[in-house]
Structure 1
């Protein structure tokens, strides 16, 4: 017999920075009476299934996986190969999944919510007579860049492959801040052919935008007022944060909760938290400088060094590194860590998900972007919000240990940065409180879903 609880299918891009905010949206929809079927690739599902929780309180999230078209031994850090394979394989599998759900008759599918980078999901939904919505998990500013690619071409800012024609600043609109041509997320992937492939795949995905009236975004009006005024169709529902009191759903790595007990023993506002997300890689020279830099600060530190990173790159700690002041973990419950009163600053790769977590907790940033939209996020944090500092590289292209110590000291001695960080936190958290802008926007979306 058909379950009369309305069901939302959520189609997630298989990367932590995309899965986490979408999972947090799934939990919010669950709170509002929806059954959620969370669709992810087989490979990503196998990564998270051993550590995920299917039920938290009364919220039930059902995980379902479909193939991404690659074999188990293929390298999924090859973003061009993975992207093309997903486009060629997943739409057919997604359509079949919907057919199977409808045939079984267990659930009434109300809507498909797809990550913008998997925008073909909306195309499939429309074909099958199901309404849809899109979620952009990065900043509204990078969404604006994407939706104005044709304008950027017409103005001679980028060529037909998305590459900047010259290095300069530009404005998408007079009301918007100036941006540098070096900040396009599709041209910061460190390989020209990959960048070209990603760009053209992304342009194809953008053709699905007009299939829905709902462009959801993990941001707030106060955070990006100019962009959201320029493109009023973008609906800010952020920050999409995990519950600090429960284990995170959909994690790709096992969280080491021992670091919370360690933080409990540290003085207020003393710990340097350093975490570079799930993709960033460093060579041995840079790894050594990070270790020595943390040692030089003579401050307590919590450093996330992924096990897969260490295993594949065989990093070794320098002999001078004692690490007595710190704790090293393979993965941390980041939202819990950043909300802890012992945290003084966040040395971050500046992925938007991590940026929103840090900003929502009033933590100042030391910005070290690795690829894609992280370079724009660094610019936004340091030069627009002015709640962080960026590292300078030496003549060898390294961030030296002395530079790390210098910027940590400079940041933690700047009361203005901390004050601005707390102001940003207040604005963000008021948005998700009852009656806040993001909370009201989510209510609008929920009402539409229930119609």
Structure 2
């Protein structure tokens, strides 16, 4: 009896990237995979991600798309995700249902029927339709477990009166109603929607409360993390949210044990000349700078970062996306030229971070970027932009000791000081040792007897068992 899982990603690079890696891993485990994305973002991936052609040729792998209901020329800003979700719910339900259960009863490719759905945990549509069809759903939360736990506690924060914050609140005050993190999280470490909310019925707060509550309806909950990194939080989630929780990460590191091929989803063309430039630089001499695929900065902030990096005296490789300044201008035209620096539009990040010339990562603290840095032992300077990034950056400094948290600050002297502190300061060696130990933990976790490898094996076995039960019901 063949297992066939539909993997439905939220249409954003940060979400699609780990889900694509999971999809390949499951395909290599002889599970048929239909990777589902919206038409708009899938077409962008096709333009800049040659890996997708290789994946489409795998015997148990295929791509499918559904409309998102927005006009073709709509910019689809991720920060307007509530509007995107409303459009998806209205326009994509029937096309999604047709993929899960064709009206003809026959798959157009002759594939076995769908027996399981792995859905991005922020998509209510991804759960509701298979639930109507009697298909089991596994929720994949592509953020960190620690940020998910804080999200899960939003209703408790509302009931206790800790949210919304009062006007003029002390942002350094510790948050008391995120169990297990009472000595870690400050008000300023919670996601921006918590900071901006002025009433308990704020749409973003209510969305988070609903989406975290939906998790209990799924068969299981999946995280791209490892036990040795987020063990205490995973234990809280298993006891309080879902008893069947998998930690199978970092997925990009796990995938290297099963495939020598690259697997990435990019919205921009990668500049591989950055690797040749790094080859010419001394060991640990370069600060790699990237704020991910979503963050937007002002021209003033860009100039502050530029001056801080130049004044630090270190070489730097900086990813400046064409839309880093939003619609204001091309950021690469705003920053100047300097002998020690190289600016690119997009870079092969995993390869860059693993390069011996890189000594520090100035990052937005997205979860994928954080894991990629941890996996190769590169300490970080964190400047989070939104959502889970604010919690990730706090854990990088306060809990894991592998970097510094620069949130809420964007001044050249602070950029210069923090870069110097991570590269050469009194605590630099301490952070480097902590990052090195974390890299060892990653290798151990995804290795033969590692916790993430065992969890992935359990996941495969459970998907196949779910599939048997689904097929028996159909007989």
- Partner Cα separation in structure 2 for residue 27 and residue 127 of structure 1: 27
Question: What's the Cα RMSD here?
Answer: 2.6
Matched, 1:377 2:392: yes
Matched, 1:222 2:228: yes
Matched, 1:408 2:432: no
Q: What is the DSSP-based 3-state SS (H/G/I as helix, E as strand, rest coil) of the residue aligned with 1:107?
A: coil
TM normalised by structure 1 equals 0.89
The 1:435–1:101 alpha-carbon spacing in structure 2 relative to 1, beyond 3 Å, is farther
**C-alpha displacement of 1:113:** 0.2
Aligned to 2:143: 138
The 1:338–1:317 alpha-carbon spacing in structure 2 relative to 1, beyond 3 Å, is closer
Matched, 1:429 2:443: yes
The answer (yes or no) to whether the contact 1:170–1:181 under 8 Å persists in 2 is no
**C-alpha displacement of 1:287:** 1.3
**C-alpha displacement of 1:142:** 1.8
Aligned to 1:297: 312
Picking from 149, 153, 173, the partner of 1:148 is 153
Unaligned 5+ segments in structure 1 are: none
- Partner Cα separation in structure 2 for residue 80 and residue 429 of structure 1: 38
- What do residues 380-411 of structure 1 show as CA deviations (whole Å, max 9, x unaligned)? 10111111113376xxxx62223222111111
Q: Mapping of 1:378-397 within 5 angstroms?
A: 378-391=393-406
The 1:102–1:27 alpha-carbon spacing in structure 2 relative to 1, beyond 3 Å, is farther
The answer (yes or no) to whether the contact 1:120–1:208 under 8 Å persists in 2 is no
- What do residues 180-215 of structure 1 show as CA deviations (whole Å, max 9, x unaligned)? 23333362686879x933332333333432232310
Matched, 1:313 2:310: no
- What do residues 355-382 of structure 1 show as CA deviations (whole Å, max 9, x unaligned)? 1111111110001011111111111101
Picking from 133, 138, 152, the partner of 1:128 is 133
Aligned to 1:10: 7
- What do residues 222-254 of structure 1 show as CA deviations (whole Å, max 9, x unaligned)? 111221222223321111216676443322111
- Partner Cα separation in structure 1 for residue 13 and residue 332 of structure 2: 27
**C-alpha displacement of 1:86:** 2.2
**C-alpha displacement of 1:145:** 2.3
- Partner Cα separation in structure 2 for residue 142 and residue 90 of structure 1: 28
Q: Aligned pair count?
A: 439
Aligned to 2:359: 344
- Partner Cα separation in structure 1 for residue 346 and residue 289 of structure 2: 11
**C-alpha displacement of 1:150:** 3.0
Q: What is the DSSP-based 3-state SS (H/G/I as helix, E as strand, rest coil) of the residue aligned with 2:278?
A: helix
Q: Mapping of 1:96-135 within 5 angstroms?
A: 96-100=98-102, 103-105=105-107, 106-108=110-112, 109-135=114-140
- Partner Cα separation in structure 1 for residue 61 and residue 121 of structure 2: 21
Q: What is the DSSP-based 3-state SS (H/G/I as helix, E as strand, rest coil) of the residue aligned with 2:139?
A: strand
Aligned to 2:203: 197
Q: Mapping of 1:70-81 within 5 angstroms?
A: 70-77=70-77, 78-81=80-83
**C-alpha displacement of 1:301:** 1.1
The answer (yes or no) to whether the contact 1:295–1:321 under 8 Å persists in 2 is no
The 1:146–1:117 alpha-carbon spacing in structure 2 relative to 1, beyond 3 Å, is same
- Partner Cα separation in structure 2 for residue 119 and residue 177 of structure 1: 33
| Structure holding more strand per residue | 1
The answer (yes or no) to whether the contact 1:301–1:327 under 8 Å persists in 2 is yes
**C-alpha displacement of 1:422:** 0.6
- Partner Cα separation in structure 2 for residue 305 and residue 375 of structure 1: 21
Q: What is the DSSP-based 3-state SS (H/G/I as helix, E as strand, rest coil) of the residue aligned with 1:313?
A: coil
The answer (yes or no) to whether the contact 1:6–1:107 under 8 Å persists in 2 is no
Aligned to 1:61: 61
Q: What is the DSSP-based 3-state SS (H/G/I as helix, E as strand, rest coil) of the residue aligned with 1:450?
A: helix
The 1:170–1:88 alpha-carbon spacing in structure 2 relative to 1, beyond 3 Å, is farther
Aligned to 1:157: 162
Q: Mapping of 1:25-36 within 5 angstroms?
A: 25-36=22-33
Unaligned 5+ segments in structure 2 are: 466-475
- What do residues 28-59 of structure 1 show as CA deviations (whole Å, max 9, x unaligned)? 10111122111111111121112332325857
Matched, 1:21 2:18: yes
Aligned to 2:96: 94
